[in-house]
Amino acid sequence: MLRRCLAIVALTCAAVSVVAQQPSESVSLSTPAKAGSFAISTSGSVAAAVCGNSKLLIWSLPAGHLERSIDLPARDVDVFTMSDDGRSIFLGDHHGVASVWDSSTGAVKMEIKFPRYFAAAAFSHDDKLLAIAPMHLPVQIYEMNSQRKVAELPETTGGSEALVFSRDDSMIASADADTAVRIYRASDAKPLATNTDFVLEPFAVAFTRDGKQLIAAGGDKTVVFLDVSTGKTLRKLPRLPEPIFALGVSFDETLLGTATLHENDLSAPAPIIVWEMASGTIKQQWTPPTQAIGGGWTRDGYFVVATVTSQAIHLYRLR
């Protein structure tokens, strides 16, 4: 899943095939104040955002109809994400309060208080489990229906920066602050594999849909493919000029979307790149007109990017 988001990127050691056509805006979502966080369901039918006036807004797509507006009592958002089906929305704030809303009713489904604020969270694909990473604390996995903690990942130095479940929800992977990428069995947090080849922190992880490879990227500015069974590095894509903070695999597993950020100005627009998975070449690259705050792959084959202005969220579709 994107959290913040192309000038022409100079790449070496690989052929580059770039589509000249730039994405056009697909829909504009009006907001009463500037949005700081955005999430979209994989169906592409539900979108949500948190705005600066302490409102959680939920829209139906593609029409962009505002379904509901929920008051948030001055919550400083650290992590914001949505389940695949768009029915559950997670918000973790700087006071250590984690909340899950039902997007169809606006009701709070789950709320837990933690001693620290949050670095990451992820829903399982069947929306039955929720993994939460409080800063500098072990990742905890909860069963959504019972709100019961069912597993806790082993403690790592600095905690986890990103989490993702495998497509069948049997595994969970973490990108950790100690620069390692780790894979666990989701049911009981048993360690399965570890990769320690990164020099700087990895910020994003994604499983291939067959569960055989894990893709990771971050401060090293390189996308790395790992073998899930061993944790070993299989291949790397060409190094980019900027760190990679988000990535995702298309549903047909032919494309990989990545979002970078400017090291010296995190609020500035930064490169969005769509890669061909098999060849490792660039299919499309684009610089958003304003800062990107979220997005991801939808089932119809588009990599949706949400950019923000003072009173609107603008959605663009790449592929």
Q: What is the pLDDT of residues 249-273, one digit of tens each?
A: 999 999 999 999 998 888 889 999 9
Q: Does pLDDT of 3 surpass 50? A: no
pLDDT digits (tens, 9 = 90+) for 180-215: 999 999 999 999 999 999 999 999 999 999 999 999
What average pLDDT does this structure show over 23-28? 93
Extract long-range pairs of 112-117: CB within 8 Å, 24+ residues apart.
112/142, 112/147, 117/78, 117/92, 117/93
| pLDDT at residue 39 is higher than 60 | yes
Cα 121 from Cα 83, distance rounded (Å): 11
Q: Are 5 and 265 in contact (CB under 8 A)?
A: no
For the chain, percent of residues with pLDDT exceeding 90: 88
Q: How confident is the model at residue 284 (pLDDT cuts 50, 70, 90)?
A: very high
- Which pTM value belongs to this model? 0.91
Over 90: is that where the pLDDT of 6 sits? Answer: no
Whole-angstrom distance, CA of residue 234 vs CA of residue 215: 10
Of the listed ranges 6-15, 18-27, 68-77, 157-166, the least confidently predicted one is 6-15
Give residue 186's identity as a one-letter amino acid code.
A
Overall average pLDDT of the 110-135 stretch: 97
Kindly tell me if the per-residue pLDDT of 282 is higher than 90.
yes
* Residue 319 pLDDT class (50, 70, 90 cuts): confident
Predicted pLDDT of residue 126: 96
pLDDT value at 79 more than 60: yes
Report residue 24's pLDDT band, with 50, 70 and 90 as the boundaries: confident
Is pLDDT above 50 for 4?
no
Give yes or no for residue 8 having a pLDDT over 70: no
pLDDT of residue 21: 63
Q: Would you state the pLDDT for residue 1? A: 41
Q: Strand 35-40's sheet: what is its strand order? A: 35-40, 46-51, 55-60, 65-71
Nearest to 282 by CA among 2, 13, 5, 44: 13
pLDDT above 70 coverage of the chain, percent:
93
**Average pLDDT score over residue span 54-69:** 96
Tokens representing 159? 């905690």
The closest of 289, 296, 113 to 204, measured between CA atoms, is: 296
What domains can be seen in the chain, in order of their start residue?
33-239 (2.130.10.10)
pLDDT beyond 50 at 2: no
What DSSP character marks residue 19?
Answer: -
Q: Which residue has the higher pLDDT, 220 or 52?
A: 220
pLDDT for residue 75: 84
| Burial (0-12, 13-18, 19+ Cβ within 10 Å), 15 | exposed
Share the mean pLDDT of the chain: 92
